[in-house]
Structure 1
């Protein structure tokens, strides 16, 4: 049965372009009231006006700006059902002789810190609504990324964050969207190389289809991959080592935090 989204409220960071803008349009077409948050003010206002939403300038590297973006959603529409923490950049940052600390810190600040700050800002409102948080990670968070190891580290951290948050906050849903190379500005420096080696480039609409599968689904703590040639689904983290009792039986660490486990054992 289709999920009824009419009247729900969504906040999208990185909402001015690419996956964020396309997701804003898709949600708005289904009756969702959308707050577009971005540092690209001109384009962000165009998207917000187009969909009948609200724009707020938001630099995700600044915690106070994520707090304000959530406040705008609550003031404008009365609450927040979905926080789509989508803002991100490529890095092109190697760890060799050309390692650039400033490039590294900027990538970490946007791709990882921005998600952390966004979660911290959105949690109260999303929990009040019994809603959900979706963070854009990447296939680079699920497999090695030799061409951009810092980006791979950023996105793997987002996947780990999402999986842990799902256990910490069982009253909401928290998931990650993990696309391969999609047709957005982030691949501009790589586009010719990708085309030369025959690497498929995903249409943005395909990524948004998977985003909507997450929105309308029921799972939590999942990392949905989007890849050419196969249906999207949650990546299977099969048989992770995990904590075990001395007899070898598994401890459900996703359900119990270490303090609770210790209290039960004492």
Structure 2
């Protein structure tokens, strides 16, 4: 797919981090972008910078997502590109003991459900609604109508202690990539997934410098955190390379996460 002003894109979690980097890279090619996010201040500022549109969207809420797509399509037209970057983390053991008093506990079920609802169900919700909209588009070269990219994590394969919910949600994104691509193949819609490693995102930016240095040292090569624009570069490649379909790709500097 050629990236220019004839193409529009929706990026969930687009107000910061990986989503913002992807929005900037697409907009640099002239693509009209819509940012879905709950952070209104950051989202509005970035949309103004890029000449796009911000839509305050909670990906766990069906009506909110519908309203977001309605607003986006009214402003920039039916999207041919969807990049799902909205997601959260969280850590707790499946079950354990309190180190102070020895009392036992288990992973809070509501926390587990929230992570799955945002990371997995939210991504599927946006993908299904975007794909339905793409069906109305005229096909481009080789019958292509659109492309969708989900954001998983290396935790989909190397989940660490406490990452049961997070890893499950990300592994499920990897698991649905190929069947979703097969669902949509006759309509000319491609589906891929990126599994980033340790990236310089707002979440990691808040960590102490010594912790970030330790994380950087754990990457085989290059020994640094990933840049959000490197994620965006891979997303761009998945979009413009029409033979890229049904794939889940690690982007991690060859890291394999240790148990803790």
1:227 lines up with 2:252 in the alignment: yes
Kept in 1: contact 2:93–2:161 (CA 8 A):
no
SS of equivalent residue, structure 1 residue 163: helix
Quote the offset at 1:185 in angstroms. Answer: 2.4
Query: Given the alignment of the two structures, is residue 196 of structure 1 paired with residue 214 of structure 2, yes or no?
Result: yes
Counterpart CA distance in 1 for 2:111 and 2:212 is 22
Task: Please tell me the root mean square deviation across aligned C-alpha atoms, in Å.
Answer: 2.0
**1:169, CA displacement in angstroms?**
0.8
Change (3 A) 1:5 1:145: farther
Which residue of structure 2 aligns with residue 217 of structure 1?
241
| Corresponding residue for residue 148 of structure 2 | 133
1:179 and 1:108 mapped to 2: Cα distance?
Answer: 18
1:7-65: CA deviation from partner (whole Å, max 9, x where unpaired): 21000110110000111111111000000110000000000000000001000010121
Alignment of 1:167 onto 2:186: no
Cα distance in 1 for partners of 2:203, 2:192 equals 22
Hey, what does 1:185 align to over in structure 2? 202
Q: 2:122: which partner in 1?
A: 114
Counterpart for residue 152 of structure 1: 167
Distance 2:31 2:212 in 1: 35
SS at match of 1:142: helix
Partner of 2:29: 30
Judge conservation of contact 2:34–2:76 (CA < 8 Å) in 1.
no
Kept in 2, the 8 Å contact 1:133–1:174? The answer is yes
Consecutive aligned runs of 4 or more in structure 1 exceeding 6 Å deviation:
none
Q: Is the contact between residue 83 and residue 126 of structure 1 (CA under 8 Å) also seen in structure 2?
A: no
**Alpha-carbon distance in structure 2 between the residues aligned to 1:101 and 1:186:** 23
CA contact (8 A) 1:87 1:111 kept: yes
SS state at 2:54 partner: strand
Task: Tell whether 2:231 aligns with 1:207.
Answer: yes
CA distance in 2, matches of 1:53, 1:111: 24
TM-score, length-normalised on structure 2?
0.82
Structure 2 residue runs without a partner (length 5+): 96-104, 138-144, 220-224, 256-260
Higher mean alpha-carbon deviation, 211-220 vs 41-50, is at 211-220
Of the two structures, which has the highest relative contact order with CA contacts closer than 8 Å and spacing of 6 or more? Answer: 2
Does residue 79 of structure 2 align to residue 42 of structure 1?
no
Give the alignment's TM-score, normalised by structure 1.
0.80
1:94·1:150 contact (CA, 8 Å) conserved in 2?
no
- Shift of the 50–189 alpha-carbon distance from structure 1 to 2, 3 Å rule, reads closer
186-195 or 157-166: bigger deviation = 186-195
